[in-house]
């Protein structure tokens, strides 16, 4: 187990970035996939809201990009809501893509994985295609701030006029006192959380540090959407450190 004093310390963003190594690990991908059903049950309402916020009717045909798609939880929610929609799942980890391909079996023929590294400005995967929508779920917070901001601009550039971008992600509180309130209330929802925080394995600690390394408050992210050109920006849902926000082109 990890020593308690290490678990309380926040990782330094200047430390080596472990994101690629973790998500390209067979063990991490396998554990993540094994826990996916439970996570999706816990987040079903939020994923459904993410899908229903898109400006389409049940019979509309459209194509969307799922950024940092992982095993495809957001894509499955959207494809289930819109039977004529098609998904591009952008993912850089072959291990996560393999797990996602198994999880996406019910939507065969309506999706395809595309290799996409969110740390790179290379969008050649799209060619000249523009997107009707783009979504991200639990991926943007893994990016350094300069890439978060650049990503919003790149998404905007590849949306058709009227297209939407929505992000479901965790955030940091703007100050420590608020962070403490969030933790106290979250612990009421998950009474085992204090024990989990002080009894992480080395792998769980590495995933935690990777999870929070670049996490930032909400307000700068909304400003970066505005500076990218997005309109109709709103925080459509928020519960403590979890938010759904986005806007239109």
Q: Are 200 and 209 in contact (CB under 8 A)?
A: no
Examine residue 17 and state whether it is found in any structural domain, yes or no: yes
* Whole-angstrom distance, CA of residue 69 vs CA of residue 75: 8
Segments forming the whole domain that contains residue 60 = 11-174+204-248
pLDDT at 35: 66
Task: Please give the tally of structural domains in the chain.
Answer: 1
Examine residue 160 and state whether it is found in any structural domain, yes or no: yes
> What's the burial of 53, exposed, middle or buried (CB within 10 Å: 0-12/13-18/19+)?
middle
* Terminal Cα distance for the chain, rounded: 48
CATH number, domain with residue 74: 3.40.50.150
Examine residue 98 and state whether it is found in any structural domain, yes or no: yes
Residue whose tokens read 């970035």: 17
pLDDT at 203: 78
- C-alpha gyration radius of the chain: 18
66: three-class secondary structure by DSSP: strand
Examine residue 180 and state whether it is found in any structural domain, yes or no: no
pLDDT at 128: 87
Question: Cα–chain-centroid distance for residue 110?
Answer: 21
Strand order from edge to edge, sheet including 111-115: 111-115, 86-91, 63-67, 131-137, 159-170, 242-248, 231-239
Examine residue 90 and state whether it is found in any structural domain, yes or no: yes
- Per-position pLDDT tens, the chain of length 249: 444 443 345 556 566 666 666 555 666 556 666 666 666 678 999 999 999 999 999 999 999 999 999 999 999 999 999 999 999 999 999 988 999 999 999 999 999 999 999 999 999 989 889 999 999 999 999 999 999 999 999 999 999 999 999 999 999 999 999 999 999 999 999 999 999 999 998 877 877 887 889 999 999 999 999 999 999 999 999 999 999 999 999
Kindly report whether the global pTM for this prediction surpasses the value 0.75.
yes
């Amino acid at each position: 187990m990890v020593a308690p004093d290490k678990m309380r310390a926040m990782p330094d963003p200047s430390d080596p970035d472990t994101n690629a190594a973790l998500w390209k690990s067979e063990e991490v991908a396998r554990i993540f996939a094994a826990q996916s059903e439970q996570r999706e049950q816990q987040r079903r309402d939020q994923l459904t809201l993410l899908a229903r916020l898109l400006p389409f009717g049940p019979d509309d045909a459209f194509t969307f990009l799922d950024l940092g798609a992982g095993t495809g939880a957001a894509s499955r929610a959207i494809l289930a809501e819109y039977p004529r929609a098609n998904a591009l799942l952008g993912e850089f980890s072959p291990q996560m893509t393999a797990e996602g391909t198994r999880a996406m079996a019910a939507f065969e023929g309506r999706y395809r994985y595309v290799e996409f590294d969110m740390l790179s400005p290379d969008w050649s995967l799209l060619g000249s295609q523009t997107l009707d929508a783009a979504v991200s779920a639990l991926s943007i917070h893994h990016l350094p701030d300069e890439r978060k901001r650049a990503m919003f601009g790149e998404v905007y550039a590849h949306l058709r006029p009227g297209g939407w971008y929505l992000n479901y992600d965790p955030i940091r509180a703007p100050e420590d006192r608020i962070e403490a309130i969030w933790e106290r209330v979250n612990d009421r929802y998950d009474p085992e959380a204090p024990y989990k925080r002080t009894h992480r394995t080395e792998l769980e600690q590495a995933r935690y540090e990777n999870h929070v390394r670049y996490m930032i408050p909400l307000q700068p992210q909304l400003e970066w959407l505005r500076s990218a050109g997005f309109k109709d920006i709103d925080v459509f849902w928020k519960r403590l450190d979890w938010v759904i926000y986005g806007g239109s082109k």
